[in-house]
Chains A and B, each alone.
Chain A
């Protein structure tokens, strides 16, 4: 349950990071609201995950899901270029996350 909460936290973090650029573009209250709601949910789920998981592990994975997730969304939805390097970095994030889950 705590790992699932961590994944949810990462997904909302990813939404929040994507919305930062949106705020820069639009600078309206809707975009700012999206930013606040996305990050708020992200923190709530992260706090739940941290009830059982170590602080640094949870934080690192949360960041990783956000970064890898926004990269994948960028590739799938926004036609960003895939490259061996990007895929390699995404795989690094995924594998180290799995590794951390195993040793925790």
Chain B
């Protein structure tokens, strides 16, 4: 089960990679890296989902992915540090994570 959570974390790391790629890739190498990162991140999420509840894994995955993307945008791509934007994204994330955590695999609470 530990291994499954590690897969989620690493999957989220690759998620951030492909999100950056989707926006910024230009060359063939960059696009190929993006596509590979997509496959790796989703593969890790899917196999993690065989050991831990998919909804929970996805919630953590998406939380880390969003946090990583926001940080990357600010640190590497000069996105202005806009407090309102970050609060809104945090609220959105809270909604996504909350939704995934109050539902189990079969949609029953």
Asked if residues A56 and B73 are in contact (CB atoms below 8 Å), the reply is yes
Alpha-carbon distance A88/B50, docked complex (angstroms) = 29
Assuming the contacts A68-B95, A86-B103, asked whether A23 and B85 have C-beta atoms less than 8 A apart, the reply is no
The answer to whether A5 has its CB under 8 Å from any CB of chain B is no
Interface residues on B, range: 35 or more
Report yes or no: B69 in contact with A56, Cβ–Cβ below 8 A.
yes
Check if A93 sits within 8 Å of B95, measured CB to CB. Answer: yes
* B contact residues around A93 at 8 Å (CB): 92, 95-96, 99
Residues of B with C-beta under 8 A to A6: none
What is the chain B residue whose CB lies nearest that of A91? B95
Q: Main SS of chain B's interface residues?
A: helix
Contact with A along B52-74 (1 / 0, CB 8 A): 00100010001001100110110
Taking a contact as CB atoms under 8 Å apart, the answer to whether B100 and A67 are in contact is: yes
Q: Spell out B's residues near A (CB within 8 Å).
A: 19-20, 22-24, 38, 42, 46, 49-50, 54, 58, 62, 65-66, 69-70, 72-73, 77, 79, 82, 84-85, 88-89, 91-96, 98-100, 102-103, 105, 107-109
The residue that A20 contacts in the complex, of B46, B84, B96, with Cβ under 8 A, is: B46
B21 nearest CB neighbor, chain A only = A47
Chain B's nearest CB lies how many Å from the CB of A92? Answer: 3
Q: Please give, as numbers and ranges, the residues of chain B lying within 8 Å of A60 by CB-CB distance.
A: 66, 69-70, 89, 92-93
Question: Cβ of A74: which chain B residues have Cβ within 8 Å of it?
Answer: 103, 107
Cα-based distance from A43 to B98 in the complex (angstroms): 24
**Closest chain B residue to A62 by CB distance?**
B19
B58 to chain A, nearest CB (A): 7
Do B79 and A63 have beta carbons less than 8 Å apart? Answer: no
- Residues in chain A near residue B85, CB distance under 8 A: 54, 56-57, 100, 103-104
